[in-house]
Amino acid sequence: MTSDAAQRAFRLIVTGGGTGGHTYPALTAVRTVRARLAADGRGLEVLWVGTADSLESRVAAGEGIEFAAVATGKIRRSSNPIKMISPANVRDMARVPLGVAQARSVVSRFRPDVVLATGGYVAVPVGLAASLCRRPLVVHEQTVRLGLANRTLAGKAACIAVSSDSTLPLLAEASRARAVVTGNPVRPEVLTGSADKAVQALGLHGFNHALPTVYVTGGAQGSEQINGLVADVLPWLLTGANVVHQCGPANVEALRARAAGLPADLAARYLLTGFVGPELPDVLALADVVISRSGAGTIAELTALGKAAVLVPLATSAGNEQAHNARHLEEAGAAVALLGEVTAQQLQQAVGPLLGDPGRRAAMAQRSRAQGRPDAAERLVDVLLSTAAGHG
């Protein structure tokens, strides 16, 4: 790196979004590269390119990141090829060339040292524009199998950063040569939780510290499937555990009514809450077993922390990615995966042995930690900086 390059600000374009699974790893990467450069006395100029009025636009605004919007086209997938040629798909596909033209203008003006694409439909026009403008592209994949956007961009990428060793055999041979396993960036604060703080923050004074704690979550909005399964086994579950149940704001009243008949000693060990906010790292630190979905971000956090988990994948996730994620961890002995039509009895059979056998629980937690990459954000920043240096 020349002395002039060392002094000037590093220029980064980030693209990806539509869901938190694409957006938050990108945000963590931005924060990490900014801190890394600041430690070397360099600044960062970053531009997030995404869809107008989207999650990524709101996240960028909240972080004070400059944002540019481009047109995108969403492909509605179907197992029937004829249904793929729907009016909505045809209409949206016509927007892709417009998006590429807009993105090419943005990339040409900004002249980034490197472009980071984390998936989602908006990543396609920006990644293609990076290639057209001869700017190096790093594609980051959060799940075991490359999503549609990243599969489209893989051939254009200088480097493909993946979250799991299991992804490598699934790549085309030409792409495999440019792939590196970084893991999926995890927010640093998730790794610094305190179980005692969770007890204080949530007022868990009725909890029995001699019993393990189960954290139930279905994501920010909650999961009706997981909520129903847990409600069906709740009296049994509370005989052997404390339970923190994050059910989604819209589901609190119905679940509270179902729990109203619990004996007082069991009710004291049950905390029902619509949403867990800044105290999430502390709740995760307290949890001995987690019952949750198996999205990429959740998997990254649970394995970075080394948590025993019972995973109930979202059946409608794109490309069935949650089932792939859950199955991958189960094969490693790092979780129990409940696939398909799950019954309350199956949930009880999965959770029971983990609550009743501390050794079994500890072994699963250890295998989970072996799958985790808590330094994923730093690894991804290494890739971004080395790719930019190689291009310069």
At residue 76, does pLDDT exceed 50?
A: no
> Percent of the chain scored above 90 by pLDDT?
81
Cβ proximity of 377 and 29 under 8 Å = yes
pLDDT of residue 138: 98
pLDDT of residue 223: 92
Distance in angstroms (rounded) separating the CA atoms of residues 196 and 330: 30
Cβ proximity of 247 and 316 under 8 Å = no
What's the mean pLDDT in 68-81? 68
Mean pLDDT (the chain, rounded): 92
Q: Convert the pLDDT of each residue in 312-323 to its tens digit.
A: 998 877 668 899
Band the pLDDT of 92: cuts 50, 70, 90.
low
What's the mean pLDDT in 51-67? 96
CB atoms within 10 A of CB 299: 31
Tell me if residue 143 falls in helix, strand or coil: coil
CATH number of the domain located at residue range(s) 3-185+374-391 in this protein: 3.40.50.2000
Lowest-pLDDT range of 5-9, 227-231, 376-380: 5-9
pLDDT of residue 93: 59
With residue 243 as reference, give the H or E element that holds it: strand 242-246
Band the pLDDT of 5: cuts 50, 70, 90.
low
pLDDT of residue 391: 82
Distance in angstroms (rounded) separating the CA atoms of residues 213 and 283: 10
What's the mean pLDDT in 99-119? 97
At residue 75, does pLDDT exceed 90?
A: no
For CATH 3.40.50.2000, the residue range(s) in the chain are 3-185+374-391, 188-371
Cβ proximity of 173 and 261 under 8 Å = no
What's the mean pLDDT in 289-297? 95
What's the mean pLDDT in 103-112? 97
Band the pLDDT of 125: cuts 50, 70, 90.
very high
pLDDT of residue 381: 98
Q: Convert the pLDDT of each residue in 226-264 to its tens digit.
A: 999 999 999 999 999 999 999 999 999 999 999 999 999
Distance in angstroms (rounded) separating the CA atoms of residues 170 and 152: 14
At residue 392, does pLDDT exceed 90?
A: no
Distance in angstroms (rounded) separating the CA atoms of residues 109 and 128: 15
Band the pLDDT of 1: cuts 50, 70, 90.
very low
Name the one residue in this structure whose structure tokens are 């959060």: 142
What's the mean pLDDT in 298-309? 97
Q: For the chain, how far is it from start to end, CA to CA, in angstroms? A: 8
What's the mean pLDDT in 293-308? 96
What's the mean pLDDT in 191-212? 93
Distance in angstroms (rounded) separating the CA atoms of residues 88 and 230: 38
pLDDT of residue 84: 47
At residue 54, does pLDDT exceed 80?
A: yes
pLDDT of residue 20: 87
- Let me know if 219 is exposed, middle or buried by CB neighbors in 10 A (0-12, 13-18, 19+): middle
What's the mean pLDDT in 356-370? 98
pLDDT of residue 97: 86
CATH number of the domain located at residue range(s) 188-371 in this protein: 3.40.50.2000
At residue 162, does pLDDT exceed 80?
A: yes
Q: Which of 52, 69, 88 is nearest to 126 (CA)?
A: 69
